[in-house]
Amino acid sequence: MTPMKFKFFVQSALALSVLFSQPACTPSDLSKENMIPLPVSIVSAGGSFNLTDQTNIFVQGESAEMKQIGQYLADKLNPSTGLTIKVKTTTDTPAPGNIFLSISGKDTELGDEGYQLTISDKSVHLEANKPAGLFHGIQTIRQILPAKVEMKTAQKGPWKLDNGVIRDFPEYGYRGSMLDVARHFFGIDDVKNFIEQLAYYKMNVLHLHLSDDQGWRIEIKSWPNLTAHGGKTEVGGGEGGYYTQEQYKEIVKYAQDRYITIIPEIDMPGHTNAALASVAMLNCDGKPKELYTGTEVGFSTLCTSKETTYQFIDDVIRELAAITPGEYLHIGGDESHATKIEDYIPFMNRVQDMVVAHGKKVLAWDEIALATVKPNTVVQYWAKAENAIKGVAQGAKVLMSPAKNAYLDMQYDSTSTYGLHWAAYIEVDKGYNWDPANLVPEIKKENIVGIEAPLWSETVGARQEAEYLIFPRLLGYAEIGWTPAKLRSWPAYRVRLANHGERMKAMNINFYPSKMVRWETNDVK
């Protein structure tokens, strides 16, 4: 080799070695992390914080709630990292190398659910005005770490968090989903699992559809036959089931610990065949109906002219209100085709008053706007914009669940295994690409409490089946509820969603692998 050639060879070798000695990881850039929902503001600083066997979680003060939040994070990190991160209390800023959770109470922009997360080489500091903000911030910390942090068994590190500052708070106060446990019953482990999934995406409401034609799913002590008989079956004739009040309280507590409110629904005056089959006097002719395992709607009604019907409803509302700490009870009101409108209106008016008398506010499907919408009643828009508009005209706030955009039981396309398509096919892009504040011109942002994506369960009875319809669309609804519309875009979301494929796999979620998304990952830290 001539000296010239040798020099060229050395230079080339050097260049190649530089090229190949790049670590197989992306540079630390917090803004490139794949967080869902997208935070309001991310400022990257370069560099990263590493979780090590010296890292602990320090919480400010001695509050049991703060310790519980710290422990929640430790319990998420320890199994996969193999570390033994402990929760400690402090009155001071902890030493370098640790995670610090503190309440400041002074940062008004963050509100009750927002947080600020500051990550440097030396520390991770999560601050919020309220514990709920810390809890949401913890989900962000989890999502900045590699996807395998969500696994239940020890994985190889490193466990890096990119440096920078995230300031984040929700667009809407109500960000929820609904689970129909009446058409098919889901046991408490499935419900808890769903609550964990909602928490991961910063949702804060789970609406439980507890009664319908096919089943009554909540123990009412003054009317035990509702569950003894009315809880015995489901769509297709399966064995059904119900929650005892103790089990319901367990669900409520599990949700509360994750800053999620349970809103129970007793659907009436229609969608009541299970009650009509269990309590004879609820029928105008005093004769009990047969249990029903089909999927028709609109054929049942409580006897609205009987005084005993209202005594029954008062018992149900009283017992349910007593075990529900959240401020809302949902009274249904949808598809009451077997109730004359002149009976429907006074019925809905009276039942609203009964809910208020038991110290709760009313949530109801949009048909309620055909009646008088009482103060504080929230109208859940699902079918008819004109109903929701009528509600707004009466001064009500609206919860946005338009079936064409937000129903989780709608099929993705004509080849979908599960789901229905009476409202629409909702591919993942269609589920994401809409703005609650722009959908109906007469319904303005200030009229809207938030968004809820309901899962009706006519076609799904097992967790994996439900997950196939829920995921990945739920992530899009979570982002619509949290992230300001001006920061949302399908092309950018699609990339973040692709990266959540690994996370959903790590969490054992049976998601629909939509062709709209390139399920590849750049999460190679």
Give the active site residues. 335
Taking residue 268's Cβ as centre, other Cβ atoms within 10 Å add up to: 27
8 Å CB contact between 312 and 211: no
Please report whether residue 381 would count as binding ligand ACM according to CB under 6 A. Answer: no
Cα angle 304, 307, 308 (rounded to 5 degrees) comes to 100
> 409 or 523, CB closer to ligand ACM?
409
In the complex, what is the shortest distance from the CB of residue 492 to ligand ACM, in angstroms, rounded to a whole number? 32
Residue in 223, 259, 312, 382 binding ligand ACM, rule: CB under 6 A: 382
Verify binding: residue 216, ligand ACM, rule CB under 6 A: no
Strands 41-50 and 160-168, bridge-based pairing? antiparallel
CA atoms within 13 A on the CB side of 285: 4
C-beta separation of 227 from 220 below 8 A: yes
CB of 364 to ligand ACM, least distance (A): 10
- Angstrom CA distances, 457 to 42, 92, 292, 293, stand at 38, 50, 15, 12
Cα radius of gyration rounded to whole Å, the chain: 26
- C-alpha distances out from residue 522 to 25, 70, 502, Å: 9, 29, 10
Q: Which residue is nearest to ligand ACM (CB)?
A: 334
Q: Is the peptide bond before 472 cis (omega within 30 degrees of 0)?
A: yes
Q: How far is the CB of 347 from ligand ACM (least distance, A)?
A: 17
What residues between 343 and 372 interact with ligand ACM by CB under 6 A?
A: 365
What is the DSSP-derived secondary structure letter of residue 390?
H
Among 212, 335, 458, 523, binds ligand ACM (CB under 6 A): 335
Cα–Cα distance, 454 to 474 (Å, whole number): 10
Q: What is the closest distance, in whole angstroms, from the C-beta atom of residue 301 to ligand ACM in the complex?
A: 15
**C-beta of 365 vs 482, nearer to ligand ACM:** 365
Q: By C-beta, is 180 or 479 nearer to ligand ACM?
A: 180
Q: CB-wise, 365 or 471, nearer to ligand ACM?
A: 365
CA dist 194 and 279 (Å) reads 32
**Which residue lies nearer to ligand ACM by CB, 119 or 474?**
474
**Could you tell me the maximum CA-CA distance found in the chain, to the nearest angstrom?**
108
Asked if residue 276 lies in contact with residue 229, where contact means CB atoms within 8 angstroms, the answer is no
* Closest CB 467 distance from ligand ACM, rounded Å: 20
Q: Which is nearer to ligand ACM, 36 or 268 (by Cβ)?
A: 268
CB of 334 to ligand ACM, least distance (A): 4
Q: Which of residues 51-90 bind ligand ACM (CB under 6 A)?
A: none
Task: List the alpha helices (DSSP H) in 323-447.
Answer: 341-357, 385-393, 403-406, 428-432
Cα separations (Å) of 46 from 24, 120, 121, 255, 319? Answer: 17, 9, 9, 36, 55
- Closer of 335 and 467 to ligand ACM (Cβ): 335
Work out how close the CB of 265 gets to ligand ACM at its nearest, in angstroms, rounded to a whole number: 10
334 counts as binding ligand ACM under rule CB under 6 A? yes
Question: In sequence order, what are the residues at sequence separation of 6 or more whose Cβ sits closer than 8 angstroms to the Cβ of residue 246?
Answer: none
How many residues bind ligand ACM (CB under 6 A)? The answer is 4
**Distance in Å, CB of 414 to ligand ACM, minimum:** 21
Q: By three-state DSSP, how is residue 206 classified?
A: strand
Q: Which is nearer to ligand ACM, 131 or 454 (CB)?
A: 454
Contact 243, 183 (CB under 8 A): no
Chain residues binding ligand ACM by CB under 6 A are 334-335, 365, 382
